[in-house]
Structure 1
Amino acid sequence: MAMNIGKDVKLAAQNLRKGELVGIPTETVYGLAGNALSEDAVLKIYAAKNRPQFNPLILHIAHIDQLNKLGLSLPFKAMELAARFSPGPITFLVPKSEKIPDIVTAGTPAVAIRIPDHPLTLELLREIDFPLAAPSANPSGYVSPTTALHVFEQLGDMVSYILDGGECRVGLESTIISFLGEEPELLRYGGAPLEAIEAVIGPVKLPEKGYSDNPVAPGMLARHYATAHPLLLGNMNSLLEQHQGKRLATISFREEAKGIPATHQFILSPSGSLEEAAKRLFAAMRMADSMDIDLIIAERFPEQGLGKAINDRLNRASTPA
């Protein structure tokens, strides 16, 4: 198949109106987008990703004002967060309306909504008169894509067009906050740090159990973001000792791993920036996975800011001990 990648927003919109799928850039990761109000288009998303249909999708819109037309609304605290973080890497889980097909929400009574922060995709969303359902543009369970080429390599013939917006700026999926209960609840760590969210709306309830086999929101499956090679997460030095003699690749925050060739080391931020590390995480996981190795070893990151989201992704990608 010819590589159908470019910056033609009108062509992307035309394909979406026909019920086809389009790869879209966002600040978090690339999405696999279809008309959220068309059951046929949404079914194509599940089929292309080989995604279980009990795993809900996120609705992408261009502006909060579009919610009224969809029969949706945000409670006050969600509006406060939207004023601070939207467009941006935050998703709101709210009660759904009958205008949203059940297939989008996997039959649950709630819908996840966000406004992505990427000029090409915002232009696309303004060009069409329907919201986009858009999970990450990769086979279900594998590492999320952060460039247009990643999308093409994995889903090339499933996607009619890939809108190329360059490398994703954040590199991790959005933070998901539920507004279904009496108090806001964190469902997924992501690109908007929990500390910054709590600075706006006060304490957020943390999940008793982070993962689920019956998720109420996207990105909650226990095994997710996984590499084909086994990935072990923990203390770098002790893992290296345990696996001497094996062909290894390493993923670390800022320090070099002893005894590993430089070509097999992925140091995500020598300067110690969690933002830079987050941006580079998925690309590093892909590169390591493409090597002729036995095992990927990753260290835990500081449990603060985006470090929590990085650890969440590595934890779910890791092979159980």
Structure 2
Amino acid sequence: MSKIYDCSDEVERAKGMRVAVDSARAGRLVVLPTDTVYGIGCDAFNNDSVANLLATKRRGPDMPVPVLIGSWDTVQGLVAEFTPQAQDLVQAFWPGGLSIVVPQAPSLPWNLGDTRGTVMLRMPLQPVAIELLREVGPMAVSSANISGKTPPISAVAAKQQLGSAVSVYLDGGEAAVGTPSTIIDISGRTPRILREGAVATDRLSEVLGMEPHVLLGRDAPEGAEGTA
């Protein structure tokens, strides 16, 4: 039977964390709080668990599962190359609401869906999530909702959608941001924002030294050249 653990209580948090870590290591699904919305997650290297995660969300492999990590160091073992551009984004926005799509390290044995050799990585600004990720390691995590429904900002709302398909729900309070992460793809020649979200486009523009319309893959606004 699935249970919600109140992580605002020290004893309950410790118990819930133990159960969540054991569940993830055993290949089961866990709901965890993040800074943006609640996520449903599993061990990123357990391919059966990732397939179960997709099935639980009623989503196909054409929408690959992102990976959350608990430290800056972890990213370097998951990517083909930790480029200066990736480093700038990590330093500016992690932990926080930016998901970064990069070429993955070729030797990784995971199957996150139809990734075409890339992986979407994020480090959330949420202490319960960070604790879990540091215990379990990289986790495949997607928003804790049935595909097409509203991503939840509380553990209760997540359980209303996912029910007993998830064994453990960690309640870290209402998600502070309440908006899904911004997704930027830096796997190609030019960075592209795939989804606008928690991190403003203007902030990304500043860090990367690129005009917002370029990041969004749009033509420059008429008359923009030469304006103050």
Shared topology, TM-score over 0.5? yes
Q: Which residue of 1 aligns with 2:153?
A: 146
The count of residues paired between Structure 1 and Structure 2 equals 207
Cα displacement string for residues 165-190 of structure 1 (whole angstroms, at most 9, x for unaligned residues): 10011111111111112221111101
For 2:209, the aligned partner's letter is G
Contact 2:45 2:111 in 1 (8 A): no
Cα displacement string for residues 267-291 of structure 1 (whole angstroms, at most 9, x for unaligned residues): xxxxxxxxxxxxxxxxxxxxxxxxx
Q: Which residue of 1 aligns with 2:37?
A: 29
Shift of the 169–186 alpha-carbon distance from structure 1 to 2, 3 Å rule, reads same
Shift of the 205–41 alpha-carbon distance from structure 1 to 2, 3 Å rule, reads same
Contact 1:175 1:192 in 2 (8 A): yes
Paired with 2:165 and 2:70, the residues of 1 have a C-alpha distance of 25
* CA deviation after TM superposition for structure 1 residue 79, in Å: 1.0
> Are 2:213 and 1:206 equivalent residues in the alignment?
no
Paired with 1:2 and 1:77, the residues of 2 have a C-alpha distance of 42
Using the TM superposition, name which of 173-182 and 66-75 deviates more: 66-75
Contact 1:27 1:117 in 2 (8 A): yes
Structure 1: any 5+ residue segments left out of the alignment? 209-321
Contact 1:102 1:108 in 2 (8 A): no
Q: Which residue of 2 aligns with 1:260?
A: none
The alignment's TM-score, normalised by the length of structure 1, stands at 0.61
Q: Which residue of 2 aligns with 1:240?
A: none
Structure 2: any 5+ residue segments left out of the alignment? 8-15, 219-228
Q: Which residue of 1 aligns with 2:4?
A: 4
Contact 1:35 1:41 in 2 (8 A): yes
Q: Which residue of 2 aligns with 1:189?
A: 196
For 1:34, the aligned partner's letter is C
Contact 1:5 1:164 in 2 (8 A): yes
Q: Taking every aligned residue pair, what percent have the same amino acid on both sides?
A: 35
Paired with 2:31 and 2:163, the residues of 1 have a C-alpha distance of 10
Shift of the 99–34 alpha-carbon distance from structure 1 to 2, 3 Å rule, reads farther
Shift of the 33–2 alpha-carbon distance from structure 1 to 2, 3 Å rule, reads closer
* CA deviation after TM superposition for structure 1 residue 34, in Å: 0.6
Paired with 2:80 and 2:19, the residues of 1 have a C-alpha distance of 29
Query: Which of 65, 87, 91 is 1:79 aligned to?
Result: 87
The alignment's TM-score, normalised by the length of structure 2, stands at 0.85
Contact 1:105 1:111 in 2 (8 A): no
2:143 counterpart SS class:
coil
Higher relative contact order (CA 8 A, sep 6+): 2
Q: Which residue of 2 aligns with 1:133?
A: 140
Paired with 1:188 and 1:71, the residues of 2 have a C-alpha distance of 21
Query: Which of 73, 77, 80 is 1:69 aligned to?
Result: 77
Q: How do 1:1-321 and structure 2 match up within 5 A?
A: 1=1, 3-7=3-7, 8-101=16-109, 103-128=111-136, 130-203=137-210, 204-207=214-217
